[in-house]
Amino acid sequence: MNRRQFVVIGSAGAASLFVSKNAAAFAHTATDNPISNPALDRLPLLFGVDYYPDQTPEKLWEEDAAAMAAAGVTNVRIAEFAWALMEPEEGHFDFRWLERAVGILHAHGIAVILGTPSAAPPPWLTQKYPEVLMVNDHGMTLSPGARRFTCPTNATYRRLSVAVATQMAQHFASTPGVIGWQIDNEFTLGDSARCYCRYCREGFEGWLRAKYTSFDAINQAWGTVFWSNTYTDFSQIPVPLPSGAPPNPGLALDYNRYQSDANASFLQDQLTVLRKLCPSHFVTTNNVGGLIDHLNLRDLYRNLDFVASDNYPGFFAIYEADASPTPPPEALAATVAFSHDFMRSAKDGEPFLIMEEQTGKSGQPYFSPQPHPGQLRLWSYQAVAHGAMGINYFRWDTADFGAEEYWHGLLRHDRSRSPGFDEVQQTIRELKSLGPEALHARYNADLALCFDVDSWWALNIQPGQPHLKYPTEMLTWYGVMGASHAGIDLVDATSDLSRYKVLCAPVMYIVTAQQADRIRAFVKGGGTFIAGFRLGVKDEHSRIVDTPLPGLLRDVMGAELLDYQPIYTEKQSVQFSGELTGPDADCRIWADILTPRGADVLATYTGGDHSGKAAITVNHYGQGKAIYIGAHLEAPDLARVLLTLMAMSGVTPLKLPTGVEWTTRTAGGRSWTYLLNHTSTAQSAEISGNYRDAFDSSALTSPVSLEPYGVRVLVSAG
Ligand code: GLA
Ligand code: ZN
Residues with C-beta atoms within 5 A of ion ligand 2: 151, 153, 195, 197, 199-200
Please give the distance of CA 323 from its chain centroid, rounded to a whole number.
Answer: 22
Tell me the pLDDT tens digit for each residue of 260-312: 999 999 999 999 999 999 999 999 999 988 778 889 999 999 999 999 999 99
Cis peptide leading into residue 703 (ω within 30°): yes
Predicted local confidence at residue 21, as pLDDT: 41
CA nearest neighbour of 520 among 550, 490, 541: 550
Q: Are 17 and 653 in contact (CB under 8 A)?
A: no
Tell me the pLDDT tens digit for each residue of 341-380: 999 999 999 999 999 999 999 988 889 999 999 999 999 9
Q: Are 116 and 83 in contact (CB under 8 A)?
A: no
Give whole-number Cα distances, 691 to 353, 672, 698, in Å: 27, 9, 9
Average confidence (pLDDT) over 595-613: 96
Predicted local confidence at residue 33, as pLDDT: 65
CA 143 to centroid of ligand 2, rounded, Å: 14
CA nearest neighbour of 557 among 514, 590, 605, 508: 508
Q: Do domains 447-647 and 660-716 have the same CATH topology?
A: no
Report the alpha-carbon distance of residue 512 to residue 552 in Å, rounded.
8
Report the alpha-carbon distance of residue 387 to residue 488 in Å, rounded.
11
The pairing of beta strand 670-677 with beta strand 711-717? antiparallel
pLDDT exceeds 50 at position 158: yes
Ranking 82-86, 88-92, 164-168, 314-318 by mean pLDDT, the lowest is 314-318
Average confidence (pLDDT) over 44-73: 98
CA nearest neighbour of 477 among 633, 342, 618, 339: 633
Report the alpha-carbon distance of residue 387 to residue 444 in Å, rounded.
9
Question: Does CATH number 2.102.10.10 belong to domain 3-15+45-439?
Answer: no
- Domain 447-647, CATH homologous superfamily name and number: Class I glutamine amidotransferase (GATase) domain (3.40.50.880)
Q: What is the CATH number of domain 660-716?
A: 2.60.40.1180
CA nearest neighbour of 472 among 4, 36, 6: 6
Query: Catalytic: which of 80, 320, 330, 356?
Result: 356
Please give the distance of CA 702 from its chain centroid, rounded to a whole number.
Answer: 34
- What residue ranges do the domains of the chain occupy? 3-15+45-439, 447-647, 660-716
Tell me the pLDDT tens digit for each residue of 379-424: 999 999 999 999 999 999 999 999 999 999 999 999 999 999 999 9
Query: Cβ(404) to ligand 1 under 6 A?
Result: yes
The sheet carrying 47-50 orders its strands as 282-284, 178-182, 111-115, 75-78, 47-50, 388-394, 352-358, 308-311, 286-288
Query: Cβ(310) to ligand 1 under 6 A?
Result: yes
Give whole-number Cα distances, 328 to 36, 106, 332, 659, 679, in Å: 38, 44, 7, 9, 9
DSSP for 86-133 reads H-SBTTB---HHHHHHHHHHHHTT-EEEEEP-TTS--HHHHHH-GGGB
According to DSSP, residue 227 is labeled G
Query: Cβ(185) to ligand 1 under 6 A?
Result: yes
By percentage, how much of the chain surpasses pLDDT 90? 86
Report the alpha-carbon distance of residue 479 to residue 335 in Å, rounded.
8
pLDDT exceeds 90 at position 532: yes
- Total-model pTM: 0.94
Report the alpha-carbon distance of residue 78 to residue 473 in Å, rounded.
38
CA 282 to centroid of ligand 2, rounded, Å: 29
Ranking 77-91, 137-151, 315-329 by mean pLDDT, the lowest is 315-329
Report the alpha-carbon distance of residue 404 to residue 418 in Å, rounded.
16
Residues 6+ apart with CB under 8 A from 253: 454, 457, 458, 461, 541, 542
pLDDT exceeds 80 at position 127: yes
CA nearest neighbour of 286 among 269, 273, 305: 305
Report the alpha-carbon distance of residue 715 to residue 718 in Å, rounded.
9
Strand (E) or helix (H) holding 383:
helix 375-385
Residues 6+ apart with CB under 8 A from 650: 501
Query: Cβ(356) to ligand 1 under 6 A?
Result: yes
pLDDT exceeds 80 at position 16: no
Report the alpha-carbon distance of residue 132 to residue 139 in Å, rounded.
14
Predicted local confidence at residue 165, as pLDDT: 98
Query: Cβ(50) to ligand 1 under 6 A?
Result: no
Predicted local confidence at residue 26, as pLDDT: 41
Predicted local confidence at residue 31, as pLDDT: 52
Active site residue 540: no
Strand (E) or helix (H) holding 283:
strand 282-284
To 10 degrees, what angle do helices 470-482 and 635-647 make? 50
Mutate to test the pocket of ligand 1, among 6, 52, 407 (most ligand atoms within 8 A of CB): 407
DSSP for 522-569 reads HHHTT-EEEE-SSTT-B-TTSPBPSSSTTGGGHHHHTEEEEEEEE-SS
Q: Are 446 and 503 in contact (CB under 8 A)?
A: no
Report the alpha-carbon distance of residue 296 to residue 451 in Å, rounded.
11
Report the alpha-carbon distance of residue 575 to residue 303 in Å, rounded.
49
CA 318 to centroid of ligand 1, rounded, Å: 16
pLDDT exceeds 50 at position 27: no
Active site residue 58: no
Predicted local confidence at residue 7, as pLDDT: 52
Residues 6+ apart with CB under 8 A from 12: 323, 327, 331, 472, 475
According to DSSP, residue 141 is labeled B
